[in-house]
Structure 1
């Protein structure tokens, strides 16, 4: 049988100049997977991105959520995992630490670095407290980091250890709003000195997690609604400065539901024993939403080492059951396997 991808939900119309000059219009089509509906069916209990994670922690507390390869003597070993409950406990501590810095619901938090467990923990801590997550990525250009920090009025930035130097270059200009920097790893004495000279605070990852330990009950999680902004993602800025796109909780949870609906109509589904490799940038909406889908189902996310030359090796060790890609990556993988 021929598969239908579109269904017609409205007839076309002829131009009606006598009714105010309404132009002609063709028929209206929608995706067949949604039975012609304007949006996929709502998922019970999902009002915000925080609910996606929170409900999965309740349902799958012992499931492995995030994994990375252990590096021993310079060599990558097997993936080691943390469970949904373990991630949740860290998220609550990091959220309390953010709040202790004076940042509340509606505040702006930058995240700058390659995909990692710390990236996701920082994002979930923002989700927990209704703080806008603002991803940063250096492919936007040298001046884009400073522009976004100032334009989005970022108050706290989580930064991959090797990228702290790029953030320091934005000082003192970014200090109008930026008050706290958190490294995903360690902080050198020189970095600490420069940051403090500009009136900011800087923490290593372990210091910041410890800062919120014991303060979790002091900061209640605020109510969150579908219409609330969840993240601000910036465009490439090819026609000028990068543009900030405001993305609501509703937008993301609707896409999560749409992916489920599409898979259902293809006789597929994501299960809790599925494994996904995280390598496409979390700073882009595509991978962000895909990872939300996997979290929604209590599945596992393994992170690559950040080097496309090692991606095939990471895939071989992780053995993901689902692989999302863009054409350029597939070309590189094909080139590597055909040599």
Structure 2
């Protein structure tokens, strides 16, 4: 148990604010956190919450989040973490209007921990009114005092017990409560440990992680569980994406997990002419089998070390997940960041990581790598989309089996039966096995429609193809059975389009350039050129584009919290 092995080692840290300025990270040790966790457990039980109860957590990443979660679920931090048999239920409002209320009611949450910023100021009058409705409100300090000098019998726990109910965003309908057991999380942690060991990148107590991806999502959740199991340190960001690089510089993490959108943003900030001058020779050497540390030591020391320092100087692994990472960005970072860049694939239903690409394997660029240990994978043919799992290049729906899988959707056995068939979880994603054993996600099973001439269009596959255009950040392709051709909304790359505008006599700010017919013609031409290079069929070519200078975002309800496109909402908006 980590608290026994590393009692005095740094566990949770945050930046101290002095006179309005952020200072150094201050830390709590494993033993200090353990003592608080035990108080939290006793206090929860003192409120009458028994085994099987549901505990909600609503707020940004912070030490208190971990302390509450560790008490309720399947951490390896200590034996008492999930000893009282409660299920942790993350609450988050990015799922849409009314999502928090829906989850509280659907999951039957009896106690919730809420960040102060998420609720209005609790006045004495409001507190008194809440008490009339049978609701007790405490500050964190008041709550910890409830369990003073109290002890409770601990129920016998089983590996199949549900440690968390994590609600998924989805693109339509109400959120679904994914039931995750103790066994699922522990199995995944063992699998990731095994994978890292095979590539000589084992985690140790000296590793440091920056917590900024939402703990309400499975991706960051299991990563932090993994770090805790090794007695490593977790530092929290200040909650402002504009200050994240500054927090990284101060914390100096060794592992950084991110979604592709933020990784692309970092890549743009790190690029420069001197970088590109040295980029190609190192990449050429890496292509020919050199490890990144050996491919160009001189360039690393003189040029790329500047990039490494901006990322804290100690980074050895960047892991991208939740959505596809473009090959161009992955190539760029693998060369300039002087660390391993790995891309993973998984869903909430699979307890996150299912595939992870391997270090030093440039042939895996653009793929999500091979399966992690403890997971069985097969492809299932989708004839209506032309995907054959038995073809020379196997393509089909990715189906998964193993103890990392979820235990079903809470109170939705009907939905569980739709995706769990003969023990196999049907992801809805279309994959293509590569000769090197890695998986490439190429399409989405449900994202298919028919044009007026009767041709089926696999739209997600097309978006992946057109996403290779370096001048665009994101693209949404649309068509329907009443039209014979496709159209698209494009978020252009700001730097690339402004550079093109300067070279072609188009003036104005970025928004003005996006409205210029010449810019639309240029982007459409680049899409057409790419379509020809990729040998797309005639009906798969885009015939018209709209350029939006504002990226697709959650504020307009165009993306899920994991940055997947909400197609019905995109159609309504545009």
TM-score, normalised by the number of residues in structure 1 = 0.75
CA distance in 2, matches of 1:227, 1:240: 28
**Paired residue for 1:160?**
115
Aligned with residue 69 of structure 2, among 109, 117, 123: 123
Counterpart residue number, 2:257: 324
1:306 aligned to which of 223, 226, 239: 239
3-state SS, counterpart of residue 315 of structure 1: helix
- Pairs within 5 Å for 1:126-205: 126-127=72-73, 128=82, 129-165=84-120, 187-205=122-140
Q: Are 1:97 and 2:52 an aligned pair?
A: no
Per-residue CA deviation, residues 206-243 of structure 1 (Å, 9 max, x unaligned), is 1111211222xx21332221100000000114221100
Q: Tell me how far apart the structure 2 counterparts of residues 106 and 201 of structure 1 sit (CA, whole Å).
A: 20
Q: How far apart, CA to CA, are the structure 1 residues paired with 2:166 and 2:125? A: 31
Secondary structure, aligned partner of 1:240: coil
Q: C-alpha distance in 1, partners of 2:47/2:35?
A: 19
The alignment partner of 1:213 has SS state of coil
CA contact (8 A) 1:187 1:204 kept: no
Counterpart of 2:38 in 1: which secondary structure? helix
Provide the C-alpha distance between the structure 2 equivalents of 1:331 and 1:62, rounded to a whole number of angstroms.
Answer: 37
Deviation at 1:64, TM superposition (A): 0.6
* 1:238 matched residue in structure 2: 171
Distance 1:187 1:193 in 2: 10
For 1:140 and 1:228, locate their aligned partners in 2 and report how far apart those are by CA, in whole Å.
Answer: 26
Whole-angstrom CA distance in 1 between matches of 2:50 and 2:218: 24
Alignment deviations for residues 273-298 of structure 1 (CA, whole Å, 9 cap, x no partner): 11000011100111110001000000
Q: Give the match's secondary structure for 2:12.
A: strand
Residue 125 of structure 1: how far off its partner (Å): 1.7
1:213 aligns with one of 125, 148, 171:
148
Which region of structure 1 is more displaced relative to structure 2, 150-159 or 218-227? 218-227
8 Å Cα contact 1:263-1:269 kept in structure 2: yes
CA distance in 2, matches of 1:220, 1:282: 29
Shift of 1:194: 4.1
- CA separation of 1:266/1:191 partners in 2, compared to 1, >3 Å: closer, same or farther? farther
Inter-partner Cα distance in structure 2 for 1:148 and 1:226: 25
CA deviation after TM superposition for structure 1 residue 58, in Å = 1.1
Q: CA deviation at 1:338?
A: 4.8
Q: 1:329 to 1:234 in 2, by over 3 A?
A: same
Aligned: 1:253 with 2:253: no
Query: Counterpart in 1 of 2:504?
Result: none
Query: TM-score when scaled to structure 2?
Result: 0.45
Tell me the CA shift for residue 191 of structure 1: 4.2
Q: How many residues align?
A: 263
* Change over 3 Å in CA distance of 1:256–1:191 after alignment to 2: farther
Asked which structure has the greater CA Rg, the reply is 2
Deviation at 1:334, TM superposition (A): 2.8
Q: Secondary structure at the match of 1:58?
A: helix
What secondary structure, in the 3-state scheme, does the structure 1 residue paired with 2:255 have? coil
Partner of 1:13: none
The structure-2 alpha-carbon separation of the partners of 1:323 and 1:90, relative to structure 1 and needing over 3 Å to count, comes to: same
1:216-231 alignment, distance < 5 Å: 218-231=151-164
Task: Specify every segment of 5 or more residues in structure 1 that has no aligned partner in the other structure, as ranges.
Answer: 1-54, 166-185
Q: Which of 178, 201, 206 is residue 268 of structure 1 equivalent to?
A: 201
For 1:144 and 1:236, the matched residues in 2 are separated by 10
Give the conservation status (yes or no) of the 8 Å contact 1:187–1:203. no
Pick 1 or 2: higher relative contact order, CA cutoff 8 A, min separation 6.
1
Contact map agreement 1:136 1:145 (CA 8 A) in 2: yes
1:316 partner SS = helix
Contact 1:161/1:187 (CA < 8 Å) preserved in 2? no
Q: List runs of 5+ in structure 2 lacking aligned partners.
A: 74-81, 273-574
Match runs of 1:16-55 below 5 Å: 55=1
What are the Cα deviations for residues 53-90 of structure 1, in whole angstroms up to 9, with x where unaligned? xx111111111100000111111111000000110100
